[in-house]
Amino acid sequence: MTGASARRVLVLNGPNLRRLGVREPDVYGATSFEGLTELCRDTGRRLDLNVEVRATDDEAELIRWVHEAADERLPVVLNPAAFTHYSYGLRDALAQRTAPLVEVHITNPATREEFRHTSVVAGVATGTIAGFGMMSYVLALQAVAELLAEESAKTS
């Protein structure tokens, strides 16, 4: 269970990720979105993070969530999915971040179709973790926890 000091973190997911477990399981694995949500929350509890997992197929909604994170100084783990490759609106919203931002991908985009090789998000992210399946989210949350610990040590 996360303590009273647990830092809130948003795990945001873009289009088609609610279809995990059904959508191309040979590519994205058999874990459902509900399974991913549980994995992220469990990982957060271990790291003393209060993890909130959201998913949307709507670019405008995702951008609103990013604005919320910037306004509230919330760290974000983001799987932008297809928005990775072309959403300059999302990229511009992410450039306003006020806390760590880790871009995450289940697969390794560099090993997939040519159009997936470009990320308009990577240039404004703290870092990117890709290609480790659902473990990518665990690694991203671990990175956020470490970044927050470093930030806290600097201000102490």
Query: Among this protein's residues, is 67 annotated catalytic?
Result: no
Out of 86, 88, 105, 117, the active site residue is 105
> Was 107 annotated as part of a binding site?
yes
Instruction: Say which residue the tokens 């399946």 belong to.
Output: 133
> Was 79 annotated as part of a binding site?
yes
Query: Among this protein's residues, is 28 annotated catalytic?
Result: yes
Strand order in the sheet with 127-130: 49-55, 7-13, 76-79, 101-105, 127-130
Is 154 within 8 Å of 147 (Cβ atoms)?
A: no
> Was 116 annotated as part of a binding site?
yes
How far is residue 115 from each of residues 35, 81, 85, 104, measured CA to CA in Å? Answer: 28, 12, 7, 17
> Was 129 annotated as part of a binding site?
no
> Was 85 annotated as part of a binding site?
yes
* Residues recognised as catalytic: 28, 105
Q: Which residues are annotated as a binding site for substrate?
A: 79, 85, 92, 106-107, 116
In the annotated binding site, the residues are 79, 85, 92, 106-107, 116
